[in-house]
């Protein structure tokens, strides 16, 4: 009787458990097909903590403010509104708080029209007018003017927000356009000298003065030869040294803020060994904003990798030239002509943007300026509402978590995972960035600080099952016990075109006062793999003391 009852209860239990298991499988399969429609694989992130491969500035994350007036339109869409340096609402609480949250944010003031800007300073004798659209003129607009009252307002704003300011100067001043369309003649520096003297008298702190915008190589609208540009930079360096004589810290002299052309850059850098502190170049690797395949390019690892040649070529030039100058990305919006609505201002662009930050760092690029802070279809902030777009939160997390020292990082398991690691910024240990370009596959990521060179000849079977090789590593090479902090970024409803981002499942949005929300991590057991959902980004902050690169 007892045996029969036990058997019956066991059968009921098995039946109940079987039903529950079946329900769970069906429910999980349904939810998986609805949200991720895919499978789970494993991979290993190998981080070499012995030496750093690069070092970035504390304020590596930089954003731009541009000159474009509301009349700037591309492909029938006018996306700039009142985001210009000349008319931006500097009293907007969201804007103020968004910049303050970085503490500090480096801001580059510049763009195409900077080469048509005059400055309303003493003695220039010119009327201070705004830009007017005129297709018959160079760059499609008339000359514009920065009044000193607006310059005062801007500098008060920068002081209030704690921003680090880089100002782009007019390199075309004094030049004429020859019959080949090139800008020739020496730079007329009188306007710039008046602006700098005024700024010093007012006590304004400028981190760097950048000469010119997109005039290197073939240039945009016109071009300046490398030889003439080098001569102009010597003039700017002399002005800075003279006006800031006696200052313990002088502003950086920066140029050329153009698209990379190896021959032009090589000649320019060779001729400015002492007068140039920063070499800037621009990146719009996705082509025109009107392109139909932008998302496909963002999700294609080979497309992302194609930009690495530019980074490596510039570093080779810098190392071989003997210059003291370092490399910055001075402007990068991905897709030129103001970007593409619901792509370059949506969640999908964080996959490109964060990969760019990681790649630039790994090639010892010191600063990366995003086009734009606000304006166009690629702003970190929405042009109309000032509300942060997804990339704002991606940038803020990078800024707070990724420290100066860059670590060599390799991922084995799938090409769709992009992995980058730095020493952590405000704690001992490392921060790992994982980007999943796959929309159907969850990846369970194991982490090792053992160099993976020993497994470079692994068989294809081992490569497909990286955990097998990981399990054979010495225990000392694995991340230890305890907990780690994770920050998971996903799009609302898993929609790549969403402008709403979730952090660890919670929607990020500013409160009514305009305050930026806190970015809080989840704590995860150190022995568990990192779960990287389809089309997601994960920052993993790992306390780890045994890394010589981070000591």
CA 27 – CA 6 distance, rounded (Å): 31
Residue 119, strand partner residues: 146
> Comparing C-alpha atoms, which of 39, 47, 83, 44 is closest to residue 65?
83
For strand 208-211 and strand 278-283, is the pairing parallel, antiparallel, or unpaired? Answer: unpaired
Annotated active-site residue 486? The verdict is: no
Burial of 264 from C-beta contacts in 10 A (0-12 / 13-18 / 19+)? buried
Structure confidence at residue 18 (pLDDT): 45
For strand 287-288 and strand 335-336, is the pairing parallel, antiparallel, or unpaired? Answer: parallel
* Whole-Å CA distances, 45 to 379, 439, 503: 32, 20, 22
The alpha carbon torsion through 156, 158, 164, 167 (nearest 10 deg) reads -80
CA 278 – CA 271 distance, rounded (Å): 14
* Whole-Å CA distances, 190 to 112, 118, 120, 397, 532: 21, 11, 12, 42, 55
Chunk the chain into consecutive blocks of 10 residues (it has 551) and report each block's average pLDDT, rounded to whole numbers: 39 40 37 54 96 98 98 97 98 98 98 97 82 97 97 98 98 97 98 97 98 97 98 98 97 98 98 98 98 97 98 98 97 98 98 98 98 98 98 99 98 98 95 98 94 42 40 39 94 98 98 94 96 98 89 87
Listed in sequence order, the residues at least 6 apart from 119 whose beta carbon sits closer than 8 Å to its beta carbon are 145, 146, 148, 151, 191, 192, 194, 195
CA 396 – CA 99 distance, rounded (Å): 10
Structure confidence at residue 480 (pLDDT): 54
Of residues 214, 223, 267, 450, which has the active-site annotation?
214
> Comparing C-alpha atoms, which of 411, 403, 455, 447 is closest to residue 429?
403
Annotated active-site residue 214? The verdict is: yes
Whole-structure pTM value: 0.90
Of residues 331, 450, 485, 486, which has the active-site annotation?
331
Structure confidence at residue 31 (pLDDT): 35
Structure confidence at residue 451 (pLDDT): 64
Structure confidence at residue 468 (pLDDT): 35
């Amino acid at each position: 009787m007892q045996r029969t009852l036990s058997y019956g209860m066991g059968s009921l239990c098995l039946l109940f458990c079987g039903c529950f298991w079946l329900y769970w499988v069906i429910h999980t399969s349904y939810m998986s097909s609805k949200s991720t429609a895919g499978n789970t694989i494993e991979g290993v992130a190998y981080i070499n903590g012995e030496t750093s491969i690069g070092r970035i500035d504390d304020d590596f994350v930089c954003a731009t403010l541009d000159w474009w007036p509301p009349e700037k339109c591309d492909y029938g869409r006018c996306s700039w509104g009142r985001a210009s340096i000349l008319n931006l609402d500097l009293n907007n609480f969201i804007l103020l708080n968004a910049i303050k949250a970085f503490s500090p944010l480096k801001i580059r003031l510049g763009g195409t029209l900077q080469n048509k800007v005059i400055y309303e300073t003493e003695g220039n004798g010119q009327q201070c007018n705004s830009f007017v659209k005129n297709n018959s003129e160079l760059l499609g607009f008339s000359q514009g003017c920065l009044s000193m009252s607006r310059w005062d307002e801007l500098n008060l704003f920068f002081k209030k927000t704690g921003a680090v300011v880089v100002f782009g100067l007019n390199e075309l001043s004094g030049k004429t356009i020859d019959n080949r369309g090139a800008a020739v003649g020496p730079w007329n520096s009188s306007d710039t000298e008046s602006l700098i003297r005024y700024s010093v008298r007012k006590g304004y702190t400028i981190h760097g003065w950048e000469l010119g915008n997109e005039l290197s190589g073939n240039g945009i609208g016109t071009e300046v030869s490398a030889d003439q540009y080098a001569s102009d930079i010597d003039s700017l360096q002399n002005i800075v040294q003279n006006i800031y004589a006696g200052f313990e810290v002088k502003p950086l002299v920066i140029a050329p803020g153009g698209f990379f052309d190896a021959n032009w850059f090589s000649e320019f850098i060779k001729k400015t060994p002492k007068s140039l502190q920063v070499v800037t170049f621009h990146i719009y690797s996705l082509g025109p904003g009107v392109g139909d395949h932008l998302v496909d390019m963002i999700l294609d690892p080979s497309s992302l990798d194609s930009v690495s040649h530019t980074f490596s070529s510039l570093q080779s030039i810098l190392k071989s030239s003997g210059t003291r100058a370092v490399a910055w990305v001075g402007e990068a919006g991905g897709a030129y002509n103001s970007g593409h609505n619901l792509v370059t201002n949506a969640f999908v662009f964080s996959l490109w943007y964060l990969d760019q930050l990681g790649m630039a760092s790994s090639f010892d690029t010191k600063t990366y300026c995003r086009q734009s802070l606000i304006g166009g279809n690629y702003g970190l902030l929405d042009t109309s509402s000032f509300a942060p777009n997804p990339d704002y939160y991606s940038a803020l997390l990078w800024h707070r978590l990724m420290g100066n020292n860059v670590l060599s990082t390799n991922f084995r398991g799938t090409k769709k995972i992009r992995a980058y690691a730095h020493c952590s910024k405000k704690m001992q240990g490392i921060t790992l960035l994982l980007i999943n370009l796959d929309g159907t596959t969850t990846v369970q990521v194991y982490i090792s600080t053992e160099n993976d060179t020993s497994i470079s000849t692994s068989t294809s079977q081992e490569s497909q099952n990286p955990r097998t090789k990981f399990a054979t590593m010495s225990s000392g090479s694995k991340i230890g016990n305890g907990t780690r902090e994770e920050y998971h970024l996903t799009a609302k409803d898993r929609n790549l075109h969403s402008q709403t981002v979730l952090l660890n499942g919670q929607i990020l949005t500013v409160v009514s006062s305009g305050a930026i929300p806190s970015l809080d991590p989840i704590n995860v057991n150190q022995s568990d793999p990192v779960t990287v959902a389809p089309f997601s980004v994960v920052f993993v902050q790992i306390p780890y003391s045994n890394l010589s690169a981070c000591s």
